Structure 1
Protein backbone atom coordinates (compact mmCIF):
# COMPACT_ATOMS: atom_id res chain seq x y z
CA UNK A 1 0.00 0.00 0.00
CA UNK A 2 1.66 3.21 -1.19
CA UNK A 3 0.71 6.14 1.04
CA UNK A 4 1.40 9.86 1.21
CA UNK A 5 1.34 11.51 4.65
CA UNK A 6 0.45 15.18 5.06
CA UNK A 7 0.74 16.53 8.57
CA UNK A 8 2.71 18.13 11.35
CA UNK A 9 4.02 17.83 14.88
CA UNK A 10 3.80 14.92 17.28
CA UNK A 11 0.67 13.23 15.98
CA UNK A 12 1.78 13.08 12.34
CA UNK A 13 5.22 11.84 13.39
CA UNK A 14 3.56 9.11 15.49
CA UNK A 15 1.43 8.02 12.52
CA UNK A 16 4.53 7.90 10.33
CA UNK A 17 6.57 5.86 12.82
CA UNK A 18 3.73 3.40 13.46
CA UNK A 19 2.72 2.74 9.85
CA UNK A 20 6.16 2.61 8.25
CA UNK A 21 7.06 -0.38 10.43
CA UNK A 22 4.09 -2.41 9.24
CA UNK A 23 4.53 -4.90 6.43
CA UNK A 24 3.06 -3.91 3.08
CA UNK A 25 2.88 -0.16 3.78
CA UNK A 26 5.22 2.24 1.96
CA UNK A 27 5.36 6.03 2.08
CA UNK A 28 5.77 7.66 -1.30
CA UNK A 29 5.46 11.26 -0.06
CA UNK A 30 5.84 13.13 3.21
CA UNK A 31 4.45 16.67 3.21
CA UNK A 32 5.20 19.02 6.13
CA UNK A 33 4.87 22.76 6.81
CA UNK A 34 8.55 23.25 7.67
CA UNK A 35 11.87 21.43 7.47
CA UNK A 36 12.22 21.48 11.26
CA UNK A 37 8.71 20.18 11.91
CA UNK A 38 8.62 16.96 13.92
CA UNK A 39 7.16 14.98 11.02
CA UNK A 40 9.82 16.27 8.63
CA UNK A 41 12.60 15.40 11.06
CA UNK A 42 11.24 11.89 11.60
CA UNK A 43 10.95 11.26 7.86
CA UNK A 44 14.43 12.63 7.17
CA UNK A 45 15.90 10.42 9.89
CA UNK A 46 14.21 7.42 8.24
CA UNK A 47 15.61 8.35 4.84
CA UNK A 48 12.27 9.40 3.35
CA UNK A 49 12.17 12.54 1.18
CA UNK A 50 10.13 15.46 2.51
CA UNK A 51 8.19 18.07 0.56
CA UNK A 52 8.08 21.35 2.52
CA UNK A 53 5.04 23.43 1.67
CA UNK A 54 5.69 26.79 0.03
CA UNK A 55 2.13 27.87 0.83
CA UNK A 56 1.03 26.68 4.30
CA UNK A 57 -2.62 26.84 3.23
CA UNK A 58 -2.63 24.22 0.46
CA UNK A 59 -0.98 20.97 -0.67
CA UNK A 60 -0.27 21.22 -4.42
CA UNK A 61 -0.53 18.32 -6.82
CA UNK A 62 3.21 17.97 -7.35
CA UNK A 63 3.71 17.31 -3.61
CA UNK A 64 2.13 13.87 -4.07
CA UNK A 65 4.15 11.24 -5.92
CA UNK A 66 2.71 9.40 -8.90
CA UNK A 67 1.52 5.91 -7.97
CA UNK A 68 0.22 6.95 -4.55
CA UNK A 69 -2.79 4.87 -3.48
CA UNK A 70 -3.94 6.79 -0.39
CA UNK A 71 -3.26 10.22 1.11
CA UNK A 72 -3.36 10.40 4.91
CA UNK A 73 -3.86 13.77 6.62
CA UNK A 74 -2.72 13.89 10.26
CA UNK A 75 -2.79 17.22 12.11
CA UNK A 76 -2.55 19.48 9.08
CA UNK A 77 -4.13 22.88 8.51
CA UNK A 78 -3.29 22.86 4.81
CA UNK A 79 -6.06 21.89 2.39
CA UNK A 80 -5.21 18.95 0.14
CA UNK A 81 -5.95 20.29 -3.33
CA UNK A 82 -8.07 18.51 -5.91
CA UNK A 83 -4.93 18.09 -8.03
CA UNK A 84 -3.22 16.30 -5.14
CA UNK A 85 -6.22 14.06 -4.49
CA UNK A 86 -6.36 13.17 -8.19
CA UNK A 87 -2.86 11.68 -7.93
CA UNK A 88 -4.07 9.15 -5.35
CA UNK A 89 -6.06 6.10 -6.46
CA UNK A 90 -8.30 6.12 -3.37
CA UNK A 91 -8.18 9.84 -2.71
CA UNK A 92 -7.42 10.89 0.82
CA UNK A 93 -8.57 10.52 4.42
CA UNK A 94 -7.93 12.59 7.52
CA UNK A 95 -8.35 12.17 11.26
CA UNK A 96 -10.55 14.60 13.16
CA UNK A 97 -10.79 14.40 16.99
CA UNK A 98 -14.58 14.54 17.27
CA UNK A 99 -17.64 12.50 16.40
CA UNK A 100 -18.27 14.20 13.08
CA UNK A 101 -20.35 16.05 12.07
CA UNK A 102 -20.15 17.47 15.61
CA UNK A 103 -17.36 20.00 16.22
CA UNK A 104 -16.15 20.57 12.68
CA UNK A 105 -13.15 22.89 12.82
CA UNK A 106 -9.69 23.51 14.19
CA UNK A 107 -10.50 23.41 17.93
CA UNK A 108 -12.67 20.30 18.19
CA UNK A 109 -11.16 19.02 21.44
CA UNK A 110 -11.39 22.42 23.13
CA UNK A 111 -15.06 22.76 22.14
CA UNK A 112 -15.77 19.25 23.40
CA UNK A 113 -14.68 20.45 26.83
CA UNK A 114 -16.37 23.86 26.61
CA UNK A 115 -19.69 22.30 25.60
CA UNK A 116 -19.49 19.85 28.49
CA UNK A 117 -19.82 16.81 26.21
CA UNK A 118 -19.83 13.61 28.31
CA UNK A 119 -18.71 11.59 25.27
CA UNK A 120 -15.97 12.43 22.79
CA UNK A 121 -14.67 10.57 19.79
CA UNK A 122 -12.62 10.51 16.64
CA UNK A 123 -13.45 10.22 12.96
CA UNK A 124 -11.50 9.22 9.88
CA UNK A 125 -13.22 11.00 7.01
CA UNK A 126 -12.73 11.34 3.26
CA UNK A 127 -10.97 14.56 2.24
CA UNK A 128 -13.42 16.60 0.22
CA UNK A 129 -14.72 20.11 -0.23
CA UNK A 130 -16.13 21.66 2.92
CA UNK A 131 -15.02 22.03 6.51
CA UNK A 132 -14.37 18.44 7.72
CA UNK A 133 -17.49 17.47 5.78
CA UNK A 134 -16.36 14.38 3.85
CA UNK A 135 -17.96 10.94 4.24
CA UNK A 136 -16.96 8.90 7.30
CA UNK A 137 -14.65 5.91 6.84
CA UNK A 138 -14.31 4.96 10.53
CA UNK A 139 -15.29 6.27 13.98
CA UNK A 140 -14.78 5.46 17.65
CA UNK A 141 -15.80 7.07 20.93
CA UNK A 142 -14.72 7.50 24.56
CA UNK A 143 -16.01 9.00 27.80
CA UNK A 144 -14.78 12.42 28.93
CA UNK A 145 -13.50 12.43 32.50
CA UNK A 146 -14.88 15.01 34.90
CA UNK A 147 -12.59 18.02 35.10
CA UNK A 148 -10.43 16.83 32.20
CA UNK A 149 -8.71 19.49 30.09
CA UNK A 150 -8.56 19.47 26.30
CA UNK A 151 -4.89 18.49 26.31
CA UNK A 152 -5.49 15.71 28.83
CA UNK A 153 -8.37 14.32 26.76
CA UNK A 154 -6.26 14.48 23.60
CA UNK A 155 -3.24 12.76 25.11
CA UNK A 156 -5.21 10.14 27.09
CA UNK A 157 -7.73 9.05 24.50
CA UNK A 158 -8.11 10.96 21.24
CA UNK A 159 -4.55 10.84 19.93
CA UNK A 160 -4.20 7.07 20.51
CA UNK A 161 -7.68 6.61 19.04
CA UNK A 162 -6.66 8.50 15.92
CA UNK A 163 -3.58 6.38 15.46
CA UNK A 164 -5.63 3.19 15.78
CA UNK A 165 -8.38 4.39 13.43
CA UNK A 166 -5.94 5.47 10.71
CA UNK A 167 -4.11 2.17 10.96
CA UNK A 168 -7.41 0.30 10.63
CA UNK A 169 -8.46 2.31 7.58
CA UNK A 170 -5.10 1.88 5.83
CA UNK A 171 -5.16 -1.88 6.37
CA UNK A 172 -8.74 -2.05 5.13
CA UNK A 173 -7.80 -0.12 2.00
CA UNK A 174 -4.86 -2.46 1.42
CA UNK A 175 -6.93 -5.60 1.92
CA UNK A 176 -10.09 -4.60 0.05
CA UNK A 177 -8.88 -1.98 -2.41
CA UNK A 178 -11.58 0.45 -1.31
CA UNK A 179 -12.85 2.36 1.71
CA UNK A 180 -16.28 2.68 3.36
CA UNK A 181 -17.96 6.05 2.98
CA UNK A 182 -20.96 7.00 5.14
CA UNK A 183 -22.22 10.56 4.44
CA UNK A 184 -22.38 12.94 7.37
CA UNK A 185 -25.78 14.26 8.40
CA UNK A 186 -25.46 18.08 8.21
CA UNK A 187 -28.43 18.48 10.56
CA UNK A 188 -26.10 17.57 13.46
CA UNK A 189 -23.13 19.63 12.34
CA UNK A 190 -21.58 22.16 14.73
CA UNK A 191 -18.54 24.38 14.22
CA UNK A 192 -15.43 24.46 16.39
CA UNK A 193 -13.44 27.54 15.35
CA UNK A 194 -10.19 28.38 17.09
CA UNK A 195 -10.90 29.84 20.52
CA UNK A 196 -9.50 33.33 20.70
CA UNK A 197 -10.21 36.69 22.19
CA UNK A 198 -7.92 37.72 19.44
CA UNK A 199 -8.05 41.47 19.08
CA UNK A 200 -9.50 43.83 21.62
CA UNK A 201 -9.45 47.58 21.13
CA UNK A 202 -9.74 49.84 24.15
CA UNK A 203 -9.52 53.58 24.45
CA UNK A 204 -8.04 54.86 27.69
CA UNK A 205 -7.14 58.41 28.59
CA UNK A 206 -6.49 59.67 32.11
CA UNK A 207 -5.99 63.35 32.85
CA UNK A 208 -5.43 62.79 36.59
CA UNK A 209 -2.30 60.67 36.54
CA UNK A 210 1.33 60.95 35.53
CA UNK A 211 3.30 58.13 33.96
CA UNK A 212 6.68 57.25 35.42
CA UNK A 213 8.81 54.79 33.49
CA UNK A 214 11.54 53.41 35.74
CA UNK A 215 14.63 51.51 34.59
CA UNK A 216 16.57 49.50 37.20
CA UNK A 217 19.88 47.69 36.81
CA UNK A 218 21.98 46.14 39.57
CA UNK A 219 23.37 43.01 41.14
CA UNK A 220 20.57 40.48 41.52
CA UNK A 221 19.37 39.93 45.08
CA UNK A 222 16.18 39.38 47.05
CA UNK A 223 13.89 42.33 47.66
CA UNK A 224 14.39 44.52 44.59
CA UNK A 225 10.84 44.13 43.29
CA UNK A 226 9.47 44.42 46.83
CA UNK A 227 11.27 47.75 47.28
CA UNK A 228 9.68 49.10 44.11
CA UNK A 229 6.22 47.86 45.06
CA UNK A 230 6.45 49.32 48.58
CA UNK A 231 7.29 52.79 47.27
CA UNK A 232 4.57 52.62 44.63
CA UNK A 233 1.96 51.71 47.24
CA UNK A 234 3.15 54.45 49.60
CA UNK A 235 2.40 57.13 46.99
CA UNK A 236 -0.79 55.60 45.58
CA UNK A 237 0.76 54.51 42.28
CA UNK A 238 -0.62 51.79 40.05
CA UNK A 239 1.86 49.19 38.75
CA UNK A 240 0.70 49.38 35.12
CA UNK A 241 3.27 47.23 33.32
CA UNK A 242 6.73 45.77 33.76
CA UNK A 243 9.48 43.78 32.07
CA UNK A 244 12.04 42.14 34.36
CA UNK A 245 14.77 39.58 33.87
CA UNK A 246 18.05 38.24 35.23
CA UNK A 247 20.98 38.52 32.83
CA UNK A 248 24.06 36.67 34.07
CA UNK A 249 24.20 37.84 37.72
CA UNK A 250 22.54 41.20 37.03
CA UNK A 251 18.92 42.21 37.54
CA UNK A 252 17.43 44.40 34.81
CA UNK A 253 13.91 45.74 34.66
CA UNK A 254 11.54 48.42 33.48
CA UNK A 255 8.34 49.40 35.27
CA UNK A 256 5.55 51.73 34.19
CA UNK A 257 3.83 53.41 37.15
CA UNK A 258 0.66 55.49 36.91
CA UNK A 259 0.72 57.84 39.87
CA UNK A 260 -1.55 60.72 40.94
CA UNK A 261 0.02 63.90 39.62
CA UNK A 262 0.33 65.40 43.10
CA UNK A 263 2.52 62.44 44.18
CA UNK A 264 4.64 62.05 41.05
CA UNK A 265 7.66 64.08 42.24
CA UNK A 266 7.72 62.40 45.65
CA UNK A 267 7.57 58.91 44.11
CA UNK A 268 10.35 59.77 41.65
CA UNK A 269 12.55 60.97 44.52
CA UNK A 270 11.84 57.82 46.54
CA UNK A 271 12.70 55.59 43.57
CA UNK A 272 15.95 57.42 42.89
CA UNK A 273 16.82 56.80 46.51
CA UNK A 274 17.40 53.17 45.58
CA UNK A 275 20.75 54.32 44.13
CA UNK A 276 22.06 54.18 47.68
CA UNK A 277 21.36 50.43 47.71
CA UNK A 278 23.64 49.76 44.75
CA UNK A 279 21.01 49.97 42.02
CA UNK A 280 21.19 52.20 38.96
CA UNK A 281 17.79 53.87 38.66
CA UNK A 282 16.55 56.13 35.86
CA UNK A 283 13.09 57.70 36.11
CA UNK A 284 11.41 59.16 33.02
CA UNK A 285 8.30 61.25 33.59
CA UNK A 286 5.42 62.01 31.22
CA UNK A 287 2.81 64.55 32.29
CA UNK A 288 1.25 64.41 28.84
CA UNK A 289 -1.15 61.62 29.80
CA UNK A 290 -3.86 63.02 27.59
CA UNK A 291 -3.53 62.05 23.97
CA UNK A 292 -3.81 64.96 21.46
CA UNK A 293 -7.31 65.47 20.10
CA UNK A 294 -6.12 64.32 16.69
CA UNK A 295 -5.24 60.87 18.10
CA UNK A 296 -6.91 58.16 20.18
CA UNK A 297 -5.13 55.89 22.62
CA UNK A 298 -5.93 52.29 21.64
CA UNK A 299 -4.85 48.98 23.12
CA UNK A 300 -4.56 46.04 20.74
CA UNK A 301 -4.40 42.38 21.69
CA UNK A 302 -3.95 39.71 19.06
CA UNK A 303 -3.64 35.94 19.34
CA UNK A 304 -3.20 33.62 16.39
CA UNK A 305 -1.69 30.34 15.38
CA UNK A 306 2.03 30.94 15.12
CA UNK A 307 3.14 31.49 11.53
CA UNK A 308 5.55 33.65 9.57
CA UNK A 309 4.34 37.14 8.64
CA UNK A 310 1.89 38.08 11.41
CA UNK A 311 3.92 41.04 12.70
CA UNK A 312 4.91 42.32 9.26
CA UNK A 313 1.34 42.10 7.96
CA UNK A 314 -0.12 43.79 11.04
CA UNK A 315 2.44 46.60 11.18
CA UNK A 316 2.06 47.24 7.47
CA UNK A 317 -1.68 47.82 7.90
CA UNK A 318 -1.03 50.13 10.87
CA UNK A 319 1.67 52.14 9.08
CA UNK A 320 -0.47 52.59 5.96
CA UNK A 321 -3.15 54.18 8.15
CA UNK A 322 -0.74 56.46 10.06
CA UNK A 323 -1.19 54.47 13.29
CA UNK A 324 1.78 54.78 15.65
CA UNK A 325 2.92 51.96 17.93
CA UNK A 326 3.84 53.31 21.37
CA UNK A 327 4.86 49.89 22.65
CA UNK A 328 4.47 46.28 21.60
CA UNK A 329 5.09 42.98 23.38
CA UNK A 330 5.07 39.62 21.59
CA UNK A 331 5.35 36.05 22.81
CA UNK A 332 4.78 32.47 21.68
CA UNK A 333 2.67 30.29 23.98
CA UNK A 334 1.47 26.68 23.92
CA UNK A 335 -2.33 26.42 23.89
CA UNK A 336 -4.53 23.35 24.18
CA UNK A 337 -3.86 20.78 21.47
CA UNK A 338 -3.83 23.31 18.63
CA UNK A 339 -0.12 23.95 18.95
CA UNK A 340 1.79 27.20 19.34
CA UNK A 341 -0.03 30.51 19.43
CA UNK A 342 1.52 33.91 18.80
CA UNK A 343 0.41 36.81 21.00
CA UNK A 344 0.76 40.54 20.50
CA UNK A 345 0.00 43.24 23.06
CA UNK A 346 0.42 46.75 21.70
CA UNK A 347 -0.47 50.30 22.64
CA UNK A 348 -1.37 52.35 19.57
CA UNK A 349 -2.06 55.99 18.73
CA UNK A 350 -4.82 55.98 16.12
CA UNK A 351 -5.89 59.04 14.09
CA UNK A 352 -9.26 60.24 15.38
CA UNK A 353 -10.58 60.30 11.82
CA UNK A 354 -10.14 56.51 11.55
CA UNK A 355 -13.15 54.77 13.07
CA UNK A 356 -12.84 51.59 15.07
CA UNK A 357 -15.25 49.93 12.64
CA UNK A 358 -12.91 50.74 9.74
CA UNK A 359 -9.95 49.33 11.67
CA UNK A 360 -12.03 46.28 12.52
CA UNK A 361 -12.69 45.65 8.82
CA UNK A 362 -9.00 46.00 7.98
CA UNK A 363 -7.94 43.57 10.68
CA UNK A 364 -10.77 41.22 9.72
CA UNK A 365 -9.33 41.05 6.22
CA UNK A 366 -5.93 40.26 7.73
CA UNK A 367 -7.53 37.47 9.78
CA UNK A 368 -8.93 35.83 6.69
CA UNK A 369 -5.64 36.14 4.85
CA UNK A 370 -3.65 34.62 7.74
CA UNK A 371 -6.25 31.88 8.41
CA UNK A 372 -6.90 33.01 11.98
CA UNK A 373 -10.02 33.95 13.92
CA UNK A 374 -10.20 37.57 15.07
CA UNK A 375 -12.71 39.17 17.40
CA UNK A 376 -12.89 42.90 18.05
CA UNK A 377 -14.49 44.68 20.96
CA UNK A 378 -14.25 48.10 22.56
CA UNK A 379 -13.97 48.29 26.31
CA UNK A 380 -15.84 51.30 27.64
CA UNK A 381 -14.04 53.58 30.04
CA UNK A 382 -15.05 53.20 33.66
CA UNK A 383 -17.27 56.01 34.97
CA UNK A 384 -15.84 57.46 38.23
CA UNK A 385 -18.09 56.95 41.25
CA UNK A 386 -19.34 59.89 43.26
Structure 2
Protein backbone atom coordinates (compact mmCIF):
# COMPACT_ATOMS: atom_id res chain seq x y z
CA UNK A 1 0.00 0.00 0.00
CA UNK A 2 1.07 3.55 -0.71
CA UNK A 3 0.38 6.56 1.41
CA UNK A 4 -0.50 9.29 -1.05
CA UNK A 5 -0.57 12.95 -0.02
CA UNK A 6 -2.34 15.29 -2.44
CA UNK A 7 -2.50 19.05 -2.05
CA UNK A 8 -4.89 21.02 -4.23
CA UNK A 9 -6.40 24.42 -4.89
CA UNK A 10 -9.47 25.26 -6.97
CA UNK A 11 -12.06 27.96 -7.34
CA UNK A 12 -14.69 27.04 -4.75
CA UNK A 13 -17.77 25.26 -6.03
CA UNK A 14 -20.33 22.87 -4.58
CA UNK A 15 -19.53 19.17 -4.91
CA UNK A 16 -15.73 19.37 -5.03
CA UNK A 17 -15.19 17.14 -1.98
CA UNK A 18 -17.81 14.73 -3.34
CA UNK A 19 -15.90 14.55 -6.64
CA UNK A 20 -12.60 13.89 -4.85
CA UNK A 21 -14.07 11.27 -2.52
CA UNK A 22 -15.77 9.48 -5.43
CA UNK A 23 -12.41 9.19 -7.23
CA UNK A 24 -10.79 7.78 -4.08
CA UNK A 25 -13.61 5.25 -3.64
CA UNK A 26 -13.61 4.29 -7.33
CA UNK A 27 -9.96 3.26 -7.07
CA UNK A 28 -10.38 1.45 -3.71
CA UNK A 29 -8.47 4.14 -1.82
CA UNK A 30 -9.04 4.92 1.84
CA UNK A 31 -9.30 8.62 2.78
CA UNK A 32 -7.06 8.73 5.89
CA UNK A 33 -6.87 12.40 6.87
CA UNK A 34 -7.50 15.83 5.41
CA UNK A 35 -7.43 19.53 6.01
CA UNK A 36 -9.82 21.44 3.75
CA UNK A 37 -10.46 25.19 3.75
CA UNK A 38 -12.41 27.91 1.99
CA UNK A 39 -10.06 30.88 1.54
CA UNK A 40 -10.95 34.00 -0.51
CA UNK A 41 -13.42 32.21 -2.84
CA UNK A 42 -10.89 29.41 -3.29
CA UNK A 43 -11.07 25.90 -1.92
CA UNK A 44 -7.73 24.44 -0.86
CA UNK A 45 -6.75 21.31 0.91
CA UNK A 46 -4.45 18.46 1.65
CA UNK A 47 -5.64 14.86 1.76
CA UNK A 48 -3.88 11.66 2.73
CA UNK A 49 -5.01 8.49 1.02
CA UNK A 50 -3.98 4.88 1.52
CA UNK A 51 -4.13 3.10 -1.83
CA UNK A 52 -2.67 0.02 -3.53
CA UNK A 53 0.37 0.52 -5.72
CA UNK A 54 -1.66 -0.55 -8.78
CA UNK A 55 -4.27 2.19 -8.23
CA UNK A 56 -2.00 5.05 -7.14
CA UNK A 57 -1.35 6.54 -10.57
CA UNK A 58 -5.04 6.19 -11.56
CA UNK A 59 -6.15 8.26 -8.55
CA UNK A 60 -3.50 10.91 -9.20
CA UNK A 61 -4.30 11.13 -12.91
CA UNK A 62 -8.04 11.35 -12.40
CA UNK A 63 -7.74 14.04 -9.72
CA UNK A 64 -5.45 16.06 -11.99
CA UNK A 65 -8.17 15.91 -14.68
CA UNK A 66 -10.71 17.77 -12.51
CA UNK A 67 -11.49 21.04 -14.25
CA UNK A 68 -9.82 24.16 -12.74
CA UNK A 69 -8.15 22.13 -9.98
CA UNK A 70 -4.40 22.32 -9.48
CA UNK A 71 -3.00 19.31 -7.63
CA UNK A 72 0.39 18.11 -6.44
CA UNK A 73 0.85 14.56 -5.20
CA UNK A 74 3.56 12.79 -3.22
CA UNK A 75 3.92 9.15 -2.27
CA UNK A 76 5.06 8.91 1.34
CA UNK A 77 6.03 6.16 3.73
CA UNK A 78 4.03 5.53 6.86
CA UNK A 79 6.03 6.76 9.81
CA UNK A 80 7.07 4.07 12.28
CA UNK A 81 8.86 6.50 14.56
CA UNK A 82 7.12 7.71 17.67
CA UNK A 83 6.42 11.43 17.70
CA UNK A 84 7.52 13.53 20.63
CA UNK A 85 4.75 14.75 22.91
CA UNK A 86 2.92 17.73 21.49
CA UNK A 87 1.23 20.77 22.97
CA UNK A 88 -1.52 22.93 21.56
CA UNK A 89 -1.10 26.67 21.94
CA UNK A 90 -3.78 29.26 21.33
CA UNK A 91 -2.26 32.63 20.49
CA UNK A 92 -4.00 36.01 20.37
CA UNK A 93 -2.44 39.38 19.54
CA UNK A 94 -3.11 42.59 17.69
CA UNK A 95 -2.71 41.74 14.02
CA UNK A 96 0.43 43.00 12.30
CA UNK A 97 2.63 42.14 9.36
CA UNK A 98 5.32 39.57 10.20
CA UNK A 99 3.61 37.95 13.17
CA UNK A 100 3.72 34.44 11.61
CA UNK A 101 7.43 34.82 10.93
CA UNK A 102 8.06 35.91 14.52
CA UNK A 103 6.11 32.97 15.94
CA UNK A 104 7.58 30.32 13.61
CA UNK A 105 11.11 31.61 14.19
CA UNK A 106 10.64 31.51 17.95
CA UNK A 107 9.27 27.95 17.82
CA UNK A 108 12.27 26.89 15.70
CA UNK A 109 14.83 28.67 17.92
CA UNK A 110 13.35 26.97 21.00
CA UNK A 111 13.73 23.52 19.42
CA UNK A 112 10.05 23.00 18.71
CA UNK A 113 8.55 21.56 15.57
CA UNK A 114 5.37 23.14 14.22
CA UNK A 115 3.01 20.29 13.24
CA UNK A 116 -0.14 22.28 12.57
CA UNK A 117 -0.98 25.96 12.39
CA UNK A 118 -4.45 27.41 11.86
CA UNK A 119 -4.75 31.18 11.82
CA UNK A 120 -7.47 33.77 11.34
CA UNK A 121 -8.16 37.46 11.69
CA UNK A 122 -11.17 38.82 13.51
CA UNK A 123 -12.33 42.15 14.88
CA UNK A 124 -12.03 42.81 18.60
CA UNK A 125 -15.47 42.97 20.24
CA UNK A 126 -15.29 46.49 21.69
CA UNK A 127 -12.65 48.32 19.66
CA UNK A 128 -13.09 46.74 16.24
CA UNK A 129 -9.30 46.44 16.00
CA UNK A 130 -8.04 43.51 13.92
CA UNK A 131 -6.87 40.59 16.06
CA UNK A 132 -4.60 37.74 15.03
CA UNK A 133 -5.65 34.35 16.39
CA UNK A 134 -3.81 31.09 15.94
CA UNK A 135 -3.99 27.53 17.14
CA UNK A 136 -0.65 25.75 16.87
CA UNK A 137 0.27 22.14 17.54
CA UNK A 138 3.96 21.88 18.38
CA UNK A 139 6.23 19.04 19.43
CA UNK A 140 8.61 19.84 22.26
CA UNK A 141 11.09 17.79 24.24
CA UNK A 142 9.87 18.08 27.82
CA UNK A 143 8.33 20.38 30.39
CA UNK A 144 11.31 22.74 30.58
CA UNK A 145 11.34 23.13 26.80
CA UNK A 146 7.60 23.84 26.90
CA UNK A 147 8.06 26.51 29.58
CA UNK A 148 10.94 28.09 27.65
CA UNK A 149 8.90 28.13 24.45
CA UNK A 150 5.91 29.78 26.12
CA UNK A 151 8.14 32.38 27.78
CA UNK A 152 9.84 33.15 24.46
CA UNK A 153 6.50 33.52 22.68
CA UNK A 154 5.07 35.75 25.40
CA UNK A 155 8.18 37.96 25.17
CA UNK A 156 7.59 38.62 21.46
CA UNK A 157 5.13 41.42 22.24
CA UNK A 158 3.23 42.87 25.17
CA UNK A 159 -0.10 42.12 23.51
CA UNK A 160 0.57 38.44 22.69
CA UNK A 161 -1.42 36.06 24.87
CA UNK A 162 -0.56 32.34 24.95
CA UNK A 163 -2.93 29.69 26.29
CA UNK A 164 -1.78 26.08 26.50
CA UNK A 165 -3.56 22.74 26.52
CA UNK A 166 -1.96 19.29 26.56
TM range (shorter): 0.5 to 0.7
Structure with greater contact order relative to length (CA < 8 Å, sep ≥ 6): 2
Task: Report deviation, 1:320.
Answer: 1.9
Does 1:362 find its partner at 2:149? yes
The answer as to whether partners of 1:364 and 1:374 remain within 8 angstroms in 2 is: no
Of the three residues 84, 97, 122, the one matched with 1:333 is 122
Task: Return closer, same or farther for 1:377/1:277 CA change in 2, 3 Å cut-off.
Answer: closer
The answer as to whether partners of 2:91 and 2:134 remain within 8 angstroms in 1 is: yes
* Cα distance in 2 for residues equivalent to 1:238 and 1:363: 32
SS at match of 1:304: strand
* Cα distance in 1 for residues equivalent to 2:95 and 2:65: 47
Listed as ranges, the matches of 1:56-67 within 5 Å are none
Task: Report deviation, 1:317.
Answer: 2.5
Higher Cα radius of gyration: 1
Instruction: Please give the per-residue CA displacement for 1:64-112, whole angstroms capped at 9, x wherever unaligned.
Output: xxxxxxxxxxxxxxxxxxxxxxxxxxxxxxxxxxxxxxxxxxxxxxxxx
Listed as ranges, the matches of 1:1-386 within 5 Å are 210=3, 212-217=5-10, 222-232=14-24, 235-245=29-39, 253-257=44-48, 259-260=49-50, 263=51, 265=53, 266=55, 269-278=58-67, 279-291=69-81, 296=84, 298=86, 300-308=88-96, 310-325=99-114, 328-334=117-123, 336-337=125-126, 339=128, 340-348=130-138, 350=140, 354-364=141-151, 366-367=153-154, 370-378=158-166
Task: Report deviation, 1:355.
Answer: 0.8
SS at match of 1:272: helix
* Cα distance in 2 for residues equivalent to 1:366 and 1:220: 35
Task: Return closer, same or farther for 1:290/1:321 CA change in 2, 3 Å cut-off.
Answer: farther
Task: Return closer, same or farther for 1:299/1:268 CA change in 2, 3 Å cut-off.
Answer: farther
* Cα distance in 2 for residues equivalent to 1:281 and 1:267: 14
Cα root mean square deviation, aligned:
3.9
Task: Report deviation, 1:374.
Answer: 2.6
The answer as to whether partners of 2:5 and 2:47 remain within 8 angstroms in 1 is: yes
* Cα distance in 1 for residues equivalent to 2:92 and 2:116: 19
Instruction: Please give the per-residue CA displacement for 1:306-356, whole angstroms capped at 9, x wherever unaligned.
Output: 244643443333222233445644321235446543122445454xxx314
Task: Report deviation, 1:281.
Answer: 3.5
Q: Provide TM-score, normalisation by structure 2.
A: 0.63
The answer as to whether partners of 2:89 and 2:162 remain within 8 angstroms in 1 is: no
Task: Return closer, same or farther for 1:376/1:280 CA change in 2, 3 Å cut-off.
Answer: closer
Q: Provide TM-score, normalisation by structure 1.
A: 0.33
- Equivalence for 1:109: none
* Cα distance in 2 for residues equivalent to 1:330 and 1:338: 20
Which structure has greater strand proportion?
A: 2
The count of aligned residue pairs is 159
Task: Return closer, same or farther for 1:299/1:227 CA change in 2, 3 Å cut-off.
Answer: farther
Task: Return closer, same or farther for 1:327/1:345 CA change in 2, 3 Å cut-off.
Answer: same
Task: Return closer, same or farther for 1:216/1:267 CA change in 2, 3 Å cut-off.
Answer: farther
Unaligned runs of 5+ in 2: none
Task: Return closer, same or farther for 1:331/1:322 CA change in 2, 3 Å cut-off.
Answer: same
* Cα distance in 2 for residues equivalent to 1:245 and 1:325: 21
